[in-house]
A and B are shown apart, each in its own frame.
Chain A
Amino acid sequence: MSQQTVQILVDIVKLSIVASVIMGIFVFILLVERKLIGRFTRRYGPNRVGPFGLLQSIADAIKMMLKEEMVPGHVNKIVYVIAPGMALMSALSVFAVIPFARDTITLPLESLIGFSVILTPWVADVNVGVLYLLAVGTLGSYGIILGGWSSNNKYSLLGALRTSAQMLSYELPLGVAILSVVVMTGTLRVTEIVEWQTQFAGFAWLAFLQPIAFLIFFISALAESGRAPFDLPETENELISGFMTEYGALKFGLFQAAEFVHAMMFCTITVTIFLGGWNLPFLNEILSVLPSPIQALAPVIHVGIFIGKSLVVYCSLIWIRASVPRMRFDQLMAFCWKWLLPIALLNLLVTVFVLAIIAELLGLW
């Protein structure tokens, strides 16, 4: 086997590992969400299946799988079946460029196969990674739009229309907010953005340096992933279930999974771009004075920190969901076009201006 083939195989294995771990975490996070939202409303949440209700999500998944796969007679069959898969696929593919840790591990296999295999803590380090995040993230709206259209149901169609309008609109402030980050770090590579944030002993989190961009990104991400208070695609009181109305069994489960994975995806992106990724303040300094066996565990510590941070961000999403009521559609649009986008543009302008002045003063031109 050539080196290239081995690397491709390694990448495929890594991809499947990431995808399965994400789905595993999704099952766990579903429970966390239900339990937390219960606690916020002074209930217990699911606690009957297994100890502390830990097996509730698994029970739900089994139930979804065992249900009868039914395709209503009036739907557009091909599109109807494809749509949930598309929704989940786009949400999952984004994780390909997320760096979960810093250090690459070299497996010394020269004696076995003639060359060493390099293991990276990310699936791909695309040099336009930020664009990849945006591009693949937007493909998620297809699942919803096509699902809504193919269902041949008024409520589904209305839900889908709303979603497409909402996603197209909120993509703009999202992109502009990320753009000001890109301007600051001077790179589109996700790993380099994280590396940039390890400056000043790990305090250079972009959430501190770009608080407005961070807020705008966070709000837009909420809207993009269709989370409360922006969950208009599936307003139960107006649209039954929006685009999901005609779906059942595993396809419905896939849509649900896509929604949660989408939210998880935005949490990890928030952590990666704005909250320092796998790094914590003084982490590198502390690690460097520790004995080398512990230093060898650095990737594990990094992954742990990354997952912990993402969980914290996800819990804040749940907190917001428990606190803020759903917006009206015209409010949603007005908020995006009249406030978020102009503020994001202004923020970008100011960022560029300040950076240019600093560069001028330091004589960096």
Chain B
Amino acid sequence: MIDKRVETVEQALDGLFDGCSIMISGFGGAGLPITLVRALEATSVRNLTLILNSIRFIEYTAPSLFTDKRVAKAICSAARSPGKEPGIYERQIQSGELELELSPQGSFAERLRAGGAGIPAFFTPTAVGTKLAEGKETREFNGQTCVMETGLTADFAILRGQTADRWGNVAFRGLQANFGPAMAMAARTTIVEVTELQEEALPPNGSHIPGIFTNRIIQLPDER
């Protein structure tokens, strides 16, 4: 019997290890798995690679990941804190303690999708001629110069959805989806916190992530 439901955040995050890579969904607070991010903070894992759109929300939710220097690398499209003073991760990036790989947001999304779809790399016109394309292979297609971007995969992905069933099918509300479906495809273990874990199966065309891409589902209240 397929049953991806777990009861506790410890079960949900079982198997995290030092040096692992974790994708974290969320945009503007929608789809951010706040409770699982806090549970990640409560573990002792370190030397992490975080793959996420913006560091800011994670630092706000789980500051000790940065103050205790547990993040070794971030792959993201935004690494800027609010306000004029540099935040902790900005100082760590500047000093070289935290490695930053900045990716245009659309290339970032496609890198996730490609990674999950078994495509190791692709060519895109985005960022050609900019400093984010420096050092990357370029080729011309139909007269247009394109830069090679690599697909992304990870050990874990954590996301937030609205509804799920025991088969791991997940449905979103509003703008919760953002990077979640692509991350679910790209990670070896995908963990989803949802507002409602329902007894009956979601309608076959009523989910946004099919359970084949998810591994653990946990029902958690919306902590925002």
Asked if chains A and B come from one complex, the reply is no
